[in-house]
Amino acid sequence: MKRLSWNQYFMAQSHLLSSRSTCTRLAVGATIVRDKRMIAGGYNGSIAGGTHCIDEGCYVIDNHCVRTIHAEMNALLQCAKFGVATEGAEIYVTHFPCLQCCKALIQAGIKAIYYAEDYKNHPYAIELLEQAHVKMEKVPLDKDIFLSFAQNS
Ligand SMILES: [Zn+2]
Ligand SMILES: [Zn+2]
């Protein structure tokens, strides 16, 4: 049995998280990792206990769903809620983060962003990430890993 790489392991976790998303526009998952350990995870969804887009439709203003908190923000906020430091940590996301999330990630001290798919990669976000020396690396998910895991279990 082939051992899973760290990159694929954390990227798979983010994809698993994205399956919990409650917004029908895009299912995103994010995993914050420090010293090869997952310290937080998030998916895009409503405020806890709030109305879900999957039940009542998205609340769209200016072509954005304003109901949802993005996966990256949810992961950061989980760290804030439980007092977990994010300085020097890394994040694995299913899609390249939006400008607002990129700014939040930089400000939270995230040092690397691994993303599986490009998604409207904002030029200003890239400029800010480069300025802050945040590493950006595309890590496409190897979908066969789920298959090989299922066969081995
Ligand atoms: Zn929505
Ligand atoms: Zn975002």
Of the bound ligands, which one is closest to the alpha carbon of residue 27? 1
What is the per-residue pLDDT for 120? 93
DSSP 30: E
- 41 Cα to the center of ligand 2, angstroms: 14
Active site residues: 72
Ligand 2 centre distance from Cα of residue 70 (Å): 5
Radius of gyration, CA atoms only, the chain: 15
pTM for this structure? 0.94
Which amino acid, one-letter code, is at 125?
A: A
Q: Measure 98 CA to ligand 2 centroid, in angstroms.
A: 4
Distance (Å) from CA 103 to ligand 2 centroid = 9
Residue with tokens 């998952």: 29
Q: How far is CA 95 from CA 7, 72, 110, in A?
A: 15, 10, 16
Nearest to 28 by CA among 100, 95, 117, 118: 95
Task: List, for residues 15-50, the tens digit of each pLDDT value.
Answer: 999 999 999 889 999 999 999 999 999 999 999 999
Question: pLDDT tens across 76-98, in order?
Answer: 999 999 999 999 999 999 999 99
Helix axes 99-107, 71-82, angle to 10 degrees: 30
Q: 1 pLDDT exceeds 70?
A: no
Identify the nearest ligand to the CA of 56 by its number. 1
CB 92 within 8 A of CB 30: yes
